[in-house]
Amino acid sequence: MNNVERARCIIQEFNKHYRPMPCCCPAQNNVVPGNVTFTIGTVTTGLPGSQAAASITGTYPNFILNLTIPQGATGPTGATGPQGPQGIQGIEGPTGPTGATGATGPTGPTGETGPTGPEAITAYGGIYSTDPVQVTINTANTYEEVALDETLPSQNVTYEPANNITINEAGTYLINYDALLSSTNTLTGYAAVRRNEGNLPATVTSGSLSTTATVPFNGVIIQELNEGDVLDIAVTGSTTDPITVNNGTLVVRRLGD
């Protein structure tokens, strides 16, 4: 029960049991004494430790009681109530920093052996000339060797005799050749790659040469070669006039057995 309710109960009890004694005094201002009633006016809470106070207002026979009641001391802390239900899950927080790298795990089992790769190149080489080479034709239609005195890195081939490639490992070879034939006179020129001084038929090239006409000599063939075979480039003409070979090149590469 709060202070207002408590004060109201007191006044109700007072009004219920209080009966004023008859008064012998004459009525004043035509007012006859009778029952007196009290009602609650204002109830103010005072500061803790202050004195209670009361005041009466109104006019006879209806008076109003105004109270000031000090605040009581704080009571002892009550017992802890039961735990409430779990609240809803909060929003997800930001991602934390990356942790340290863990230790390296054990080595896994060895995988299956893969398919066999292509066969390695076991033999290759080449000869060439950066300067124009003039070839003297001693007999018409008789092939003469072209001097190619520069050599490329090689394996399992040699460059002896000079201007030649000697095969040291038998197998299937890719043969690449290139040159440009010219002459100061009009004639039919021929060029070929030779094996052991015999023309490889697929490489034979011919054409008309003159002061204004040249014959390109180039191509690629695949050829079976034996150990000890000797390769070179040779040219000839329909006359004994000299033939000039520009940028002559002969390269071989072993493909396999």
Q: What is the DSSP string of 44-100?
A: EEE-TTPPPEEEEEEETTEEEEEEEEEPPPPPPPPPPPPPPPPPPPPPPPPPPPPPP
For residue range 96-113, list pLDDT tens digits in order.
899 999 999 899 999 999
What count of other Cβ atoms lies within 10 Å of the Cβ of residue 61?
Answer: 14
CA–CA gap between residue 45 and residue 242 (Å, rounded) = 137
Q: Is residue 25 part of a domain?
A: yes
On the question of pLDDT at 38 being above 80, the answer is: no
Rounded-to-integer distance, Cα 216 and Cα 214, Å: 7
Task: Let me know whether 132 and 236 are in one domain.
Answer: yes
Same domain, 29 and 148: no
Tokens, residue 157: 């081939």
One domain, residues 66 and 136: no
- Do 143 and 248 have their domain in common? yes
Query: How would you classify the pairing of strands 37-46 and 62-70?
Result: parallel
Domain identity same for 217 and 150: yes
Note whether 64 and 158 are same-domain residues. Answer: no
pLDDT on residue 71: 83
31 falls in which pLDDT band (50, 70, 90)? Answer: very low
Q: Is residue 114 part of a domain?
A: no
pLDDT, one tens digit per residue, over 135-162 is 999 999 999 999 999 999 999 999 999 9
pTM above 0.85, yes or no: no
Amino acid in position 105: G
Extract the tokens encoding 248.
Answer: 């002559």
62, 141: one domain: no
Can you tell me whether residue 11 is helix, strand or coil? helix
Structural domain boundaries, residue 15: 3-70
Cα gap 26→84, rounded to integer Å: 71
CATH code (residue 211): 2.60.120.40
